[in-house]
Amino acid sequence: MRWIVLCLGIFGYLGAGASMSARDLGQWDAVDPAVKQWYQALMQPDVPNASCCGEADAYWADEVHVRDGKTYAIVTDDRPDEPRGRPHVEIGTEIEIPNNKLKWDRSNPTGHGIVFLSRARYVFCYVQPGGV
């Protein structure tokens, strides 16, 4: 009986994770198609076959600094969260960006530094502002 409960629990967890990984809640409706394509093509620098995720996981983080050899990004995103289907992160929140999550190989057409966060605030990627 324990094995059945364990298997059902694992199956439920995996099923929930799969549905969360590709959230399209209409957040792309008013986005420039080129920017949409850019978001969808971003891959994690340390896991090149895994997406950085999308706009529902993206927060503007235009302030970046290094302290004690670690990179930090400050959330500057004042856009509403509801249309993007994302949890709220306060402006001014400092997020430590692990070195393996710094993405420097792609230009950024948004004009903003962007940190991609899970709901538990795990950093998927940080893309610096600039480039076209």
% of the chain surpassing 90 pLDDT:
55
Do β-strands 94-97 and 70-74 pair in parallel, antiparallel, or remain unpaired? antiparallel
3-class DSSP state of 74: strand
Neighbours of 110 (CB within 10 A): 17
From the number of C-beta atoms within 10 Å of its C-beta (0-12, 13-18, 19+), residue 30 rates as: exposed
User: In this model, does residue 129 exceed pLDDT 90?
Assistant: no
With cut-offs at 50, 70 and 90, classify the pLDDT of residue 81: very high
pTM score, whole prediction:
0.75
Can you give the pLDDT at residue 53? 87
Q: Which two tokens stand for residue 58?
A: 């993206």
Other beta carbons within 10 angstroms of residue 74's beta carbon come to 17
Residue 26 reports pLDDT greater than 70: no
Average pLDDT, the chain: 81
User: What mean pLDDT comes out for the span 10-20?
Assistant: 38
**Residue 6: is it exposed, middle or buried by C-beta count within 10 angstroms (0-12/13-18/19+)?**
exposed
Please tell me whether residue 82 adopts helix, strand or coil conformation. helix
Q: What is the mean pLDDT of residues 5-28?
A: 41
